[in-house]
Every structure is written in C-alpha cells, then in structure tokens.
Amino acid sequence: MTTILVDQDLCTRCGICSVVCPMAIVEPADENTLPTVVDAKAGMCIQCGHCEVSCPSQALILNVRPDEKVPLQAGAGTISPDDMAFYLKKRRSVRHFTKDPVPKEKIEQVLDIARYAASGGNGQPVQWIIVHDPKNVKKIAGLTIEWMKTLVNSNHPMSGRIPMLIAAWDGGRDVICRGAPHLLFAHIPEGNPVVSVDAIIALTHFDVAAPAFGIGTCWAGFIAMAATSYEPLQKEIGLPAGRKCAYAMMFGHPQYKVYGIPRRKPLEVTWQ
C-alpha cells in the first residue's frame, strides 16, 4: 500500500514533510518528483501523521483511513496563555460527587480526546475499561478493602495506614472511591516496560479534558495498587488475557464548584 498520497497540483515541493518525519523515510521532492516513501522503507512508518499535518498546502495525506481526515480550521483549538493557566490551575481532585450518572456518550467524547495522547513509537497500546454501574464501583471498593486486610501487620509501605482505612470503611465511609459513580481503568500489554508511561499520559489527557465536560476526576491509587496483585479484584475488573491494569481513575459530576486557586510550593528550576 502506498504510504503517502500527494496531490501534484497542490504540492509546492517545500520539503517540510521530509524534515518532520521522525523516521526519516519521506524522500524529499525535486523538480521532477513528488515526496514519496519507497517500498523498502514503508514498514518503518509509525503512522504518526507528522508529514500530513505539517504540509502547508495540504497536498499530502497519510494513507491510513484517508477518508477520516479532519481539516484543522484557522484558529481552532487556540487558547490564550492566561486561559490555559487558569484552566489547569483550577483543576481539582474531586472527592465529593453527585449521584447523577455521566452519560456514556459524554465519557466516550472525553476518551476520544485521550486516544490522541502521545505514546512511544505511536504504538497506542492503551485500552479502557469503564465501570459505569455505581453498584459495581462499590463492589470494587470493597474488594480493595479486602486486599488491604491481607496487608495488616506486613512490611508493606501502607501497612501503618491500613487499620484506619479499614475502620473508616467499616464505619460506613467510602474512603476508596469517595462515592464516585464511575471508575476508569487504563490497561496495557503485559511484558512491555515502556507502555505504563503511555497509559499515564493517556489518563492525564482524560483528567485534563474531563472538567471541560463538567466531569470531576480523582486518581484511584488504592484501587490501582490492589489491581496489580489481588486476583479477585483483577477478575472483577475483567482484564483481557495478556493485559494488566496500568492505573485507575474515579470520576463523576462534582458536588461542589471551585471558587479559587490554592497555593503550591514555589517553583524550583535548575538551569544548565
């Protein structure tokens, strides 16, 4: 299959597509030829699309589902530095949620953004499991508590906090999911030491995009730890064979609004 498609009437032979290709496989154009990827190098293409989106004249398209190409309108996605700063600084870890469920269609909209997250070699290894039913979320929280009970009097780093968490749970407080109606699990292939970073990047995209849709999030560290080793929890999550949980996130509609930006430690930077 031809790797790139080039419109000879639009191509200006500027050479940008060759320069930006991270694999250096796009042969530059000259007076008599258009940019091309020779067959011997076609297998090296990681389908990142840099060549396509960097073409000023829109003459080039990566030959991967070309009918799905989305043009970028002038000014689309432009955010002022001040707006970006306030948007990110007011992001909060939400621990109080309403009981109103987030529609599945809205969740998929946020995940559609997250699938554009960077990944090593554009491998896009991250897949998702959404626990949408609050009853199943509560069950997963309970299984996490069961996992914690196996760590009592152990040398686990959390062992000192576990009795307090178990006592709170037994007293009716959801200290695991904080009453969140939904859970999101990012799962990745086993045996690959790099893809865990890809999952965190993708989850961060979800975390950052969610407030724009009226969704609050909180990283579910207790569940993520339990999911790495506790088989009953792994079974409840329903991880496919050959894949493992990278991390988890609780989410739902925030019960309270944000009216300010709290302080943080001063910026520390070393210039070299």
Average pLDDT, consecutive stretches of 10 residues, N- to C-terminus, the chain (272 residues) = 93 96 95 93 95 94 91 89 96 97 98 97 97 98 96 87 94 97 98 94 98 98 96 96 97 96 96 98
- Contact criterion met (CB below 8 Å) for 195 and 188: yes
pTM for this structure? 0.92
Please tell me whether residues 64 and 88 are part of one structural domain: no
Please tell me whether residues 15 and 127 are part of one structural domain: no
Does 76 fall in a domain? no
Does 79 fall in a domain? no
Please tell me whether residues 97 and 153 are part of one structural domain: yes
Please tell me whether residues 23 and 49 are part of one structural domain: yes
Q: Long-range pairs for 28-34 at CB < 8 Å and ≥24 separation?
A: 34/6, 34/8
Does 50 fall in a domain? yes
Does 267 fall in a domain? no
What are the angstrom distances between the C-alpha of 260 and each of 87, 89, 257?
Answer: 11, 9, 10
The two three-digit tokens of residue 121, written as one number: 């070699």
Please tell me whether residues 51 and 104 are part of one structural domain: no
CA–CA separation, 149 vs 170, rounded Å? Answer: 12
CA–CA separation, 20 vs 38, rounded Å? Answer: 17
Specify the pLDDT at position 270: 98
Total domain count, the chain: 2
Please tell me whether residues 212 and 182 are part of one structural domain: yes
Residues 6+ apart with CB under 8 A from 153: 159
Q: What is the CATH number of the domain that holds 131?
A: 3.40.109.10
Please tell me whether residues 141 and 168 are part of one structural domain: yes
Does 270 fall in a domain? no
Please tell me whether residues 41 and 116 are part of one structural domain: no
Specify the pLDDT at position 224: 97
The two three-digit tokens of residue 144, written as one number: 């996490």
Q: What is the CATH number of the domain that holds 44?
A: 3.30.70.20
Does 114 fall in a domain? yes
Specify the pLDDT at position 157: 87
Please tell me whether residues 9 and 144 are part of one structural domain: no
Does 203 fall in a domain? yes
Give residue 214's identity as a one-letter amino acid code.
G
Specify the pLDDT at position 268: 97
Specify the pLDDT at position 21: 96
Specify the pLDDT at position 81: 97
Structural domain boundaries, residue 144: 84-252
Please tell me whether residues 148 and 187 are part of one structural domain: yes
Please tell me whether residues 178 and 212 are part of one structural domain: yes
Specify the pLDDT at position 153: 86
Specify the pLDDT at position 71: 82
